[in-house]
């Protein structure tokens, strides 16, 4: 799986013009739409819920990569599955008691399941569920706000996950990186083993969005 997936985050889009901005990245060559869902509790910010996801689902056929930065995500999996998610990623830190159960629920809806870890969370916490997921999302900023700088100390974690996947013959699983991604940090992340990149400000503030997306690959 050598091709690099680029998933622009609509957190950096104009929320009054989401359809326009989703079409913009689609025409520019993006692969997925990354949808950041925040509840103001797991992270110190609030964004959108399932009704908005359902509405923007009509605007594109690109896969929706939905990142739930919320507490008790098991309560909301059904809502986001029915809203049109293709991937639902939950945080290991939000599912300490029911990580397996939450992943199983996502899969039961026919949705691809991802698990995310914050910068200070060790890879150890997701080892036991690797065999049942489709994506590992490694945060390279503290989740909650866009526009932060890439934490380079997370690079060994990317390499560790890549080595784990190769050892377990699980190379079909995406390693996605979210936080501070630009043309420079994308190269660091992919060299360490990542093959999916989330970028927000870097893409949406670019004068030439197709060129910005291509630079990440």
Q: Which residue in 36, 39, 65, 134 is the catalytic one?
A: 36
How far, in Å, CA of 50 to CA of 132, rounded?
24
Q: Which residue in 21, 31, 39, 178 is the catalytic one?
A: 178
Contact 136, 161 (CB under 8 A): yes
**Residue 196 corresponds to which tokens in the numbers above?**
């999916």
Contact 130, 172 (CB under 8 A): no
How far, in Å, CA of 168 to CA of 163, rounded?
9
According to DSSP, the residues that pair with 178 across neighbouring strands are 139, 198
- For this structure, is 21 an active site residue? no
- For this structure, is 208 an active site residue? no
- Collapsing DSSP to helix, strand or coil, 71 comes out as coil
Number of C-beta neighbours around residue 24 at 10 A: 18
Query: Where in the sequence numbering do the catalytic residues fall?
Result: 36, 178
């Amino acid at each position: 799986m050598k091709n690099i997936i680029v998933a622009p985050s609509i957190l950096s889009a104009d929320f009054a013009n989401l359809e326009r901005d989703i079409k913009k990245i689609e025409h520019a060559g993006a692969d997925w739409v990354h949808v950041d869902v925040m509840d103001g509790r797991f992270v110190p910010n609030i964004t959108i819920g399932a009704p908005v996801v359902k509405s923007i689902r009509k605007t594109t056929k690109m896969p929706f990569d939905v990142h739930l930065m919320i507490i008790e995500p098991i309560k909301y999996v059904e809502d986001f599955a029915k809203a049109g998610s293709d991937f639902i990623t939950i945080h290991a830190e939000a599912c300490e008691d029911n990580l397996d159960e939450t992943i199983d629920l996502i899969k039961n809806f026919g949705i691809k399941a991802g698990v995310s870890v914050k910068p200070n969370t060790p890879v150890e916490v997701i080892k036991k569920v690797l065999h049942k997921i489709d994506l590992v999302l490694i945060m390279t900023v503290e989740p909650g706000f866009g526009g932060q700088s890439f934490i380079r100390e997370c690079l060994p974690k990317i390499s560790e996950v890549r080595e784990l996947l190769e050892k377990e013959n699980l190379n079909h699983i995406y390693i996605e990186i979210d936080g501070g991604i630009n043309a420079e940090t994308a190269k660091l992340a992919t060299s360490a083993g990542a093959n999916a990149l989330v970028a927000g400000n870097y893409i949406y503030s670019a004068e030439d969005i197709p060129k910005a997306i291509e630079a990440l690959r």
